Amino acid sequence: MNKQTFLAELKSNLEELRKEGVTSPHVLHNVLSETAMKNLSGLWKDSKKAHLGKRRACYFSMEFLIGRSIFNNLLCLGIYSDVEKAFAEAGFSLNDLEAAEDAALGNGGLGRLAACFLDSAATLNLPLDGYGIRYKYGLFKQKIENGFQTEEADNWTKYGDAWSVRHDEDAVEINYSDQKVLAVPYDIPIIGYGAKNIGTLRLWQSEAFEDFDFKLFNDQKYLEASREKVLAEDISRVLYPNDDTREGKKLRLKQQYFFCSASLNDIIKKHKKNHGDIKTLADFVTIQLNDTHPVISIPEIIRLLTQNEGLTFDEAFAMAKKIFNYTNHTIMPEALEKWDESLIKELLPEIYDIIFMINEEYLAEMYRKDIKKESIEVMKIIKGGQVHMANMATYCSSYVNGVAQIHTEILKANTLHDWYTVYPERFQNKTNGITQRRWLALCNRELSALITELLGNEDWVTNLDELKKLTGYADNADIINRFLAIKKTKKEQLAKFILDREGIKIDPDSIFDIQIKRLHEYKRQLLNAFSILWLYFGIKDGSIKDLAPVTFIFGAKSAPGYRRAKAIIKFINEIAAMIEKDDEVNKIIKVVFVSNYNVSYAEKLIAAAEVSEQISTAGTEASGTGNMKLMANGAVTLGTLDGANIEIVEEAGKENNYIFGATVKELEKIMPEYCSRKLAADNEKIRRVIETLVDGTFDDGGSGDFRELYTSLLDGASWHEPDNYYLLGDLESYVEAKLKCNSDYKDKAAFGRKMWLNMCNCGKFSSDRTIADYAENIWKIK
Ligand SMILES: *Cc1c(COP(=O)(O)O)cnc(C)c1O
Q: Say whether pLDDT at 380 is over 70.
A: yes
Say how far apart CA 530 and CA 514 lie, in whole Å: 15
Cβ of residue 108 lying under 6 Å from some atom of ligand 1: yes
Q: Considering the domain boundaries, does residue 779 fall inside one?
A: no
Instruction: From 68, 112, 119, give the residue whose CB has the most ligand 1 atoms within 8 Å, as the site to mutate.
Output: 112
Q: Dump pLDDT digits (tens) for 251-262.
A: 999 999 999 999
Distance 383 CA to ligand 1 centre (A): 34
Which residue has its alpha carbon closest to ligand 1 atom 4?
109
- For ligand 1, whether the C-beta of 626 sits within 6 Å is yes
pLDDT over 90 (residue 117): yes
Q: Could you report the per-residue pLDDT of 146-185, keeping only the tens digit for each?
A: 999 999 999 999 999 999 999 999 999 999 999 999 999 9
What percentage of the chain carries pLDDT values higher than 70?
Answer: 99
Q: 192 in a domain, yes or no?
A: yes
Looking at the CA of residue 628, tell me the nearest atom of ligand 1.
Answer: 8
Taking the centre of ligand 1 as the mean of its atom positions, its distance from the CA of residue 197, in whole angstroms, is: 27
- Distance in Å, CA 403 to ligand 1 centroid: 14
Distance 607 CA to ligand 1 centre (A): 14
Cα 782 to Cα 183: distance, rounded to the nearest angstrom: 30
For 458, other C-beta atoms within 10 Å of its C-beta total 16
> Which of 63, 64, 65, 613 has most ligand 1 atoms within 8 Å of its beta carbon, as the pocket-test mutant?
65
Residue 45 lies in a domain: yes
Does the pLDDT value for residue 246 go beyond 50? no
The reply to whether 148 and 257 lie within a common domain is yes
Chain-centroid distance, C-alpha 28: 29
- Asked whether the beta carbons of 406 and 643 are under 8 A apart, the reply is yes
User: Which of 685, 500, 425, 382 is CA-nearest to residue 99?
Assistant: 500
Question: How many other CB atoms are there within 10 angstroms of residue 282's CB atom?
Answer: 17
| Cβ atoms of 381 and 388 closer than 8 Å | yes
Q: Model pTM?
A: 0.98
What's the mean pLDDT when you consider all of the chain? 97
CA of 111 to the centre of ligand 1 (A): 9
Q: Mean per-residue pLDDT for 80-102? A: 97
Q: Does residue 211 carry a pLDDT above 90?
A: no
Atom 1, ligand 1: which residue's CA is nearest?
626
DSSP assignment of 723-780: TTT-HHHHHHHHHHHHHHHHHHHTSHHHHHHHHHHHHHT-GGGBHHHHHHHHIIIII-
Q: Would you call 375 helix, strand, or coil by DSSP?
A: helix
Separation between Cα atoms, residue 151 and residue 427, nearest integer Å:
40
Number of Cβ atoms within 10 Å of the Cβ of 777: 12
C-beta of 596 in contact with ligand 1 (< 6 A): no
What is the arithmetic mean of pLDDT over 698-727? 98
433 lines ligand 1 (CB under 6 A): no
3-state secondary structure of 353: helix
Where in the sequence is the domain holding 86, given as residue range(s)?
Answer: 1-52+70-102
- Bridge-partner residues for 180, per DSSP? 175
- Indicate if 487 and 445 belong to the same structural domain: yes
Ligand 1: centre distance to CA 130 (Å): 19
Q: What is the pLDDT of residues 746-760, one digit of tens each?
A: 999 999 999 999 999
Question: What tens digit of pLDDT does each residue of 28-50 get?
Answer: 999 999 999 999 999 999 999 99
602 lines ligand 1 (CB under 6 A): yes
Is the CB of 67 inside a 6 Å radius of any atom of ligand 1?
no
Phi/psi region, residue 111 (left: phi>0; alpha: psi -120 to 50; beta: rest), is alpha
Which residue from 119, 528, 599 has its CB within 8 A of the most atoms of ligand 1, so it is best to mutate?
Answer: 599
State whether 416 and 445 are in the same domain: no
Ligand 1 centre to CA of 627 (Å) is: 8
61/195 same-domain check: yes
Question: Which of 621, 625, 629 for mutating ligand 1's site (highest number of atoms within 8 Å of CB)?
Answer: 625
Burial letters for 522-544: b for 16+ Cβ neighbours within 10 Å, e otherwise?
ebbbbbbbbbbbbbbbbbeeeeb
Q: At what angle do helices 313-323 and 297-307 cross, to 10 degrees?
A: 140
What Å distances lie between residue 340 and 65, 515, 585, CA to CA?
Answer: 29, 37, 54
Residues serving a catalytic function are 329, 517-518, 523, 625, 629
Say if 777 falls within a structural domain: no
CATH no. for residue 348? 3.40.50.2000
Q: For residue 219, is pLDDT > 90?
A: no
Q: Tell me, what's the pLDDT at 760?
A: 98
**Ligand 1 close to Cβ of residue 517 (< 6 A):** yes
Confirm whether 781 is domain-assigned. no
* Among candidate residues 395, 430, 465, the one where a domain is terminated: 430
For residue 733, the number of C-alpha atoms closer than 13 Å in the C-beta half-sphere is 15
Ligand 1 atom nearest 67 alpha carbon: 13
Judging by beta carbons within 10 Å of its beta carbon (0-12, 13-18, 19+), is residue 560 exposed, middle or buried? middle
Would you call 145 exposed, middle or buried from its count of C-beta atoms within 10 A (0-12, 13-18, 19+)? exposed
From the CA of 61, how far away is ligand 1's center (Å)? 16
Same domain, 359 and 503: no
Identify whether the C-beta of residue 556 lies closer than 8 Å to the C-beta of residue 516: yes
Residue nearest to atom 11 of ligand 1 (CA): 108
pLDDT of 243 strictly over 70: no
Which atom of ligand 1 lies closest to the CA of 623? 8
* pLDDT band, very low/low/confident/very high, at 105 (cuts 50, 70, 90): very high
Pair (119, 17) in one structural domain: no
* 395, 450: one domain: no
Ligand 1 center–CA 105 separation, angstroms? 13
Q: Which residue has a Cα nearest atom 7 of ligand 1?
A: 626
The pLDDT assigned to 676 comes to 98
**SS3 state at 163:** coil
Q: Are residues 495 and 457 in the same domain?
A: yes
Residue nearest to atom 15 of ligand 1 (CA): 599
User: Ligand 1 pocket, 112 CB below 6 A?
Assistant: yes
Cα separation of 609 and 631, whole Å? 9
Phi and psi torsions of 653, nearest 5°: 95, 130
Q: Give domain status of residue 94, yes or no.
A: yes
Which of the four pLDDT bands, split at 50, 70 and 90, describes residue 215? confident
Q: What crossing angle do the helices spanning 727-745 and 748-760 adopt, rounded to 10°?
A: 120
3-state secondary structure of 658: strand
Cα–Cα distances (Å) from 425 to 166, 378, 398, 399, 777, in that order, read 41, 20, 9, 8, 12
- 517 and 653: one domain? yes
Phi then psi dihedrals of residue 162, to 5 deg: -65, -20
Band the pLDDT of 213: cuts 50, 70, 90.
confident
Tell which atom from ligand 1 comes closest to the C-alpha of 599: 13
- DSSP per-residue letters across 248-300: -HHHHHHHHHHHHHHHHHHHHHHHHHHH--GGGHHHHEEEEEESSTTTTHHHH
Domain count, the chain: 3
473 and 374 both lie in a single domain: no
Best CA proximity match to 627, nearest among 598, 647, 653: 647
CB 379 within 8 A of CB 369: no
CA distance 29 to 253: 36
Main-chain dihedrals φ then ψ at residue 433, nearest 5 degrees: -150, 180
Least Cα distance to 566 among 458, 440, 469, 701 occurs for 701
Protein residue whose Cα sits closest to atom 6 of ligand 1: 626
Q: Indicate whether residue 109 lines ligand 1 (CB < 6 A).
A: yes
Q: In angstroms, what is the span from residue 109 Cα to ligand 1's centroid?
A: 5
Atom of ligand 1 nearest to the CA of 516: 7
Domain assignment present for 489 = yes
CB 625 near ligand 1, within 6 Å: yes
pLDDT in the model for residue 142? 98
Cβ(624) – ligand 1 distance below 6 Å: yes
When pLDDT is averaged across residues 446-466 and rounded to a whole number, the result is 98
**Element counts in the chain: helices (H) and strands (E):** 33, 23
Instruction: Write down which residue in 430, 462, 496 finishes a domain.
Output: 430
| Position 51 pLDDT exceeds 80 | yes
d(CA 77, CA 71) in angstroms, rounded, equals 10
421 and 494 inside one domain:
no
Question: Which of residues 402, 430, 458 is at a domain's end?
Answer: 430
In a domain, residue 487? The reply is: yes
598: CA distance to ligand 1 center in Å? 8
What is the CA(108)–ligand 1 centre distance, in A? Answer: 5
Same domain, 41 and 110: no
Query: Hey, whose CA ends up nearest to atom 8 of ligand 1?
Result: 624
> 513 - beta bridge partners?
552, 611
Is residue 332's pLDDT more than 90? no
Mean pLDDT in residue range 226-241: 93
In this structure, the residue with its CA closest to atom 5 of ligand 1 is 626
Distance CA 556, CA 609 (A): 16
pLDDT computed for residue 247 by the predictor: 57
Atom index in ligand 1 nearest the CA of residue 104 equals 13
Under the phi-then-psi rule, with left for phi > 0, alpha for psi from -120 to 50, and beta for the rest, what region is 506? beta
With a 6 Å cutoff on the Cβ, whether 630 touches ligand 1 is: no
Per the DSSP assignment, residues forming a β-bridge with 639 are 614, 659
- pLDDT score for 70: 98
With a CB cutoff of 8 Å and minimum separation 6, the contacts of 169 are none
What pLDDT sits at residue 210? 78
